[in-house]
Amino acid sequence: MAIVPAAAVVKTARAADAGFERIDTHNHIHRGAPALVAAMERTGWRGLSICDSREVGDQVSVLPQMIPGTAQFHRESNKRWAWATTFDPRGFEKPDFAERVIAGLDHDFAQEAIAVKVWKNVGMGIRAASGRYLLPDDAALLPVYEHIQKSGRTLICHLAEPNGAWEPLDGRNSESGYLKSHPEWHMYGKEAPSKETILAARDRVIAKFPKLRVIGCHLGSNEEDLERLAQRLKALPNFVVDVASRVRYLMAADREKARQFVLTHQDRLLYATDFTLGAGDDARAAASLEATHDREWNYFATGETVQARNGQTMGLELPEAVLRKIFRENAVKVLTGILG
Ligand SMILES: [Zn+2]
C-alpha cells in the first residue's frame, strides 16, 4: 500500500471542499437557468450576473431584453445570483442623456440591481458626431457616476483590453485569436485613444468620486503588468479588481511574483470567471463552470501542479484567511447587497 503524505491528503480535501460559500463576481446570465442554479447550490457558489451594453454605431441595443431577463434570473435563482445593470452610453451628446440614464438606473435599483457596468466600447468604440472617441471621464458621464455613488451602488468597469489590442497581429500577439475574430476591437493602426489614455481617464473618475466603489474587470486591464496595477491600487483606495478570465495571466507569470502580488493585495482582489451562459444545454454549461471553479480554486488554494499557457506551474497555496477574502469577503464589502 502506498503511503500518502499527510500534507497531500489535506490539499486534496481542501480542493474539493472550500468549507465556505464562494462568490463568482463576474458572470453573464440573462435568462432562467434552473439546472445551473441547482448545480451552484450543490457546489456552494453564489454569483453576480452583469449586463453589458456592447453596441456601437447604429447597432440595435439588446438591453430591452437583457435587463429584464437578468432581473428575472436574479429572482428565479432565489437571489443566489445578484445582478448588475448597465446603460447605453451612445446618446451622450443629447441634452437629456444623464437624466434618462439615471431614471433607467433607478428603475433597475428598485429591481435590486446592486451595481452598474461600463464596457470597453467607452474608449474604444463609441464616437461623438465630431469623430472623437467617448472616454470614461467625459463630462456627460459624470452625473451618472455621481448618482451611482449617491445610490450606494458599485461601478464595474471593463475598460481597455490586454496590450495586444494596440499591437500588430504578429506571432507574438497573445490576443491574436480573439482579435482576428473581433477586428473591431483591434486598435492597432487606428486613430484611436491609447490604452494608457483610456486607463488614465478611468482613474480620474475613481479619484473624483472617492466614495464610489469601483471594480476594474480583468485585473483592471493591467493583466500584463502587475507592478503598474499595484501602483494604481496604491493610489486609488476605492479601486479593486476582479480576476475574471485572467487567472491564466497569473499562472503564466513568475510564481513567486504572482504569489506576492496576491498576498500584498489580498483585500483588493475578487474571484471571478466571466462565465457566459449561451443557448443550449444548461447542465453542460454548469459542468463547464464547475470545472473552471475547481481548476482555479486549486490554483489559488493548493500547491498542485497546474497547466499554464507557457508550461506547468505550481498552485499558490494561499492561507485560508486570504482565500476567504478573495473568494468571498472582499465581494461582500465591495458589492453591497450581493448576499441578497
Ligand atoms: Zn464579462
Name 127's bridge partners.
133
Question: Which pLDDT does position 39 carry in this prediction?
Answer: 96
140 Cα to the center of ligand 1, angstroms: 24
In the reported structure, the alpha carbon of residue 28 is separated from the centroid of ligand 1 by a whole-number distance in angstroms of 7
The overall pTM is greater than 0.75: yes
Q: What confidence score (pLDDT) does residue 5 get? A: 46
CA of 3 to the centre of ligand 1 (A): 44
Task: Report which of 95, 92, 99 is spatially closest to residue 138, judged by C-alpha positions.
Answer: 92
Q: How far is the CA of 63 from the centre of ligand 1 (A)?
A: 15
Distances (CA, A) of 56 to 8, 97, 126, 158, 184: 51, 16, 6, 15, 10
Q: How far is the CA of 191 from the centre of ligand 1 (A)?
A: 26
Distance 269 CA to ligand 1 centre (A): 16
Query: What spacing in Å lies between the alpha carbon of 26 and ligand 1's midpoint?
Result: 6
Q: How far apart are CA 107 and CA 250, in angstroms?
A: 38
Cα-to-centroid distance, 102 and ligand 1 (Å):
23
Give 134 Cα–ligand 1 centroid separation in angstroms.
Answer: 20
How many angstroms is it from 273 CA to the middle of ligand 1? Answer: 8
Tell me, in angstroms, the distance from the centre of ligand 1 to residue 320's CA.
27
Report the C-alpha gap between 234 and 197 in whole angstroms.
Answer: 19
- What is residue 294's DSSP assignment? H
Residue 181 has a CB neighbour count (10 Å cut-off) of 8
Is residue 196 classed exposed, middle or buried when 0-12, 13-18 and 19+ CB atoms within 10 A define those classes? exposed
> How far apart are the C-alpha atoms of 318 and 175, rounded to whole Å?
29
Cα separation, 245 vs 168, whole angstroms:
22
Per-residue pLDDT of the chain (340 residues; tens, 9 = 90+): 444 444 444 444 344 468 999 999 999 999 999 999 999 999 999 999 999 999 999 999 999 999 999 999 999 999 999 999 999 999 999 999 999 999 999 999 999 999 999 999 999 999 999 999 999 999 999 999 999 999 999 999 999 999 999 999 988 898 999 999 999 999 999 999 999 999 999 999 999 999 999 999 999 999 999 999 999 999 999 999 999 999 999 999 999 999 999 999 999 999 999 999 999 999 999 999 999 999 999 999 999 998 888 889 999 999 999 999 999 999 999 999 999 8
DSSP per-residue letters across 225-273:
-HHHHHHHHHH-TTEEEE-TTTHHHHHHS-HHHHHHHHHHTTTSEE---
Ligand 1 centre from 8 Cα, in Å?
35
Neighbours of ion ligand 1 (CB under 5 A): 274
Residue 272 phi, psi (nearest 5): -165, 155
Distance CA 70, CA 29 (A): 7
Residue 146: exposed, middle, or buried by beta-carbon count in 10 A (0-12, 13-18, 19+)? middle
pLDDT number for residue 275: 98
Domains and CATH numbers, the chain: 6-20+120-334 (3.20.20)
- Measured in angstroms, how far is the CA atom of residue 13 from the centroid of ligand 1? 31
Cell readout for 299 is: 490554483
Distance 171 CA to ligand 1 centre (A): 26
